[in-house]
Amino acid sequence: MSIRISAELSHLCPLDEVISHATALEAQGFYRVWIPDTVVSAWEAWMAASLILQHTQRLQVGLGVTNPYTRHPVVVAQMAATLQVYSGGRLAMSLGRGIGIFHEPSKVVDSLFGEARHLTEFGVANCQLGFERSRGIARFLDKAGVTQRETAVEECAAMGPSGWASAMRVGDGVATVWREALAETRLKFMAERVIPSAVLIPFAQSRPDFFARCIATLEQLEQRVEVLEAAGFDEVIVAYAEMADLRTAAQLVST
């Protein structure tokens, strides 16, 4: 299987189990753990990322989806630079619109997407959309010793056509959630330019209320991964509910 298998840390995971979930993901061979920036979890996302980076060696760590409204971009830039240097380049980020009330009007978000590009140019490699409102952030990163790099993956979170359009305009990648017509959507928006793409699949064997459009069996999960791999997607993000779901999803890694 060429598609990368990642997981999203369950927002139901208790604070005192974050490390055990992360080490289990690393031991099972998952490519990356994504940490959702949400106020409904028992932990704060950046603190969870710090804990995970301290207690793992190879596991890539993604922060997001996060937005530029509940967190100031300058503060996020400093946190990202700190963790990126500390981890030796294992940090990734995804910037999206977040809750509707925080992203009106949409043209403001598009502007932020465009302005964010300079951050990744100054060292936050694999920053799937960085954060910047001025070149002052780039100067800060430079003074902090985060040197400029030639390559960086910048990815926008996209839930619908407008999100995909934004990603194709200003991003170097796109992250989205499973929908039946995703293959057609990817083909339509990547007709002229192909960029890295990741898809989140909600998976819970005993918690049907865990997530919208949640699936409950390994067979369903395998079928969706096969569809995404055939369509050319690069990464699957399994949003699991409980540790038992994580262990079941780990069977994807060994196939």
Q: Does this model's pTM top 0.85?
A: no
Place 80 in a pLDDT band, splitting at 50, 70 and 90. Answer: confident
| pLDDT surpasses 60 at 90 | yes
In the predicted structure, residue 142 carries a pLDDT above the cut 60: no
Q: What is the mean pLDDT of residues 37-62?
A: 95
Query: Domains of the chain by range and CATH?
Result: 4-252 (3.20.20.30)
- CA–CA gap between residue 202 and residue 241 (Å, rounded): 8
Three-state secondary structure along 90-156? CEEEEECCCCHHHCCCHHHHHHHHHHCHHHHHCCCCCEECCCCCCHHHHHHHHHCCCCCCCCCCCEE
- The predicted structure's pLDDT at residue 7: 98
Q: What distance in Å separates the CA atoms of residue 54 and residue 41, rounded to the nearest whole number? A: 20
- Taking residues 181-201, report their average pLDDT: 93
Mean pLDDT, residues 20-32 taken together = 98
Residue percentage of the chain with pLDDT more than 90 = 50
**Is residue 149 predicted with pLDDT exceeding 90?**
no
* pLDDT tops 70 at residue 205: yes
Q: Does residue 75 or residue 109 have the better pLDDT?
A: 75
Cα separation, 32 vs 101, in Å, equals: 30
Alpha carbon distance 137, 240 (integer Å): 35
Tens digits of residue pLDDT in 37-49? 988 899 999 999 9
What average pLDDT does range 93-99 have in this prediction? 69
Q: Which is more confidently placed, 123 or 84? A: 84
**Does position 118 have pLDDT exceeding 80, yes or no?**
no
Q: Is 202 or 180 the better-scoring residue by pLDDT?
A: 202
For 176-209, give the DSSP string.
EE--TTHHHHHHHHTSS----EEEEEEE-SS-TT
Average pLDDT rounded to a whole number, residues 12-22: 97
Query: Is 80 exceeded by the pLDDT of residue 237?
Result: yes
Q: Are 188 and 174 in contact (CB under 8 A)?
A: no
Among 77-81, 103-107, 245-249, the range with the most confident prediction by mean pLDDT is: 245-249
Question: What is the predicted pLDDT for the residue at 98?
Answer: 55
CA 152 to the chain's CA centroid? 14
Closest residue by Cα to residue 52 from 15, 77, 81: 15
